[in-house]
Amino acid sequence: MMRSAEISRKTKETDISIKINLDGTGEAKLDCPIGFMVHMLNTFARHSLVDLEVRAKGDLEVDQHHLVEDIGIVLGQCFATALGDKRGIRRTGSCLFPMDETLARAAVDISGRPFLVFDARLSGIPLVSAVEGKAASSFQIDTIEDFWQGFTNSAAVALHIDILRGRSDHHKIEALFKAAARAIREAVEIDPRYPDFVPSTKGTLA
């Protein structure tokens, strides 16, 4: 049975539709006005092996916070829906991911109890990008924690993501996404030793 979900969420601030397939190959189709988030979502799909389709727009005239956080919320809702009763999953996963001078760590428990520990050691200075013929734009890196908080709450997982060392904020954020993706990939995999059991002494991960 394919573990997939498609969820749309529209508010006065954002309009987001996301579709995922947990048993995919890491394909991504992304329509999002924030270039850095497109890069991160593509990275997440590739390293989690989750097929991901995102269509997102929002009130960027205010700032990027609403859109980035709400993408995390809807993505988490998709994971919760696609996992169902979580029968047969490994439940936990972890990863140490090196990216040049940066080392990121992620650990996840699909426990049904949302909790985020986020220690990215980011500078708070926006990342600036430029496209020929257009004005330079910047990415508010403080919204990354909001993304993961939204994901954690909606997916009902315990997620710890840390930067152990690093210099470049770009590398730190990207390494966090890669580490988290790899940890989540491990946690959602079906364990062939007990594919018909919920991995909890309670008998439920609701």
Reported CATH class of domain 4-188: alpha beta
Q: How confident is the model at residue 133, as a pLDDT?
A: 60
What are the tokens at 93? 């996963």
Reported as a pLDDT band with limits 50, 70 and 90, residue 132 is: low
pLDDT digits (tens, 9 = 90+) for 56-83: 999 999 999 999 999 999 999 999 999 9
pTM score above 0.75: yes
SS3 179: helix
SS3 86: coil
Domain boundaries, given as residue ranges, for the chain: 4-188
Q: What is the distance between the alpha carbons of residues 138 and 128, in angstroms, rounded to a whole number?
A: 4
pLDDT digits (tens, 9 = 90+) for 81-129: 999 999 999 999 999 999 999 999 999 999 999 999 999 999 999 998 7
CB-based contact 157:108 (threshold 8 Å): yes
Q: How confident is the model at residue 158, as a pLDDT?
A: 98
Q: What is the distance between the alpha carbons of residues 172 and 164, in angstroms, rounded to a whole number?
A: 9
> Quick check: 134 pLDDT over 70?
no
If you average pLDDT over every residue of the chain, what do you get? 95
Closest listed residue to residue 58, CA positions, set 140, 145, 148 = 140
| Rg, C-alpha atoms of the chain | 17
Q: How confident is the model at residue 205, as a pLDDT?
A: 87
Reported as a pLDDT band with limits 50, 70 and 90, residue 131 is: low
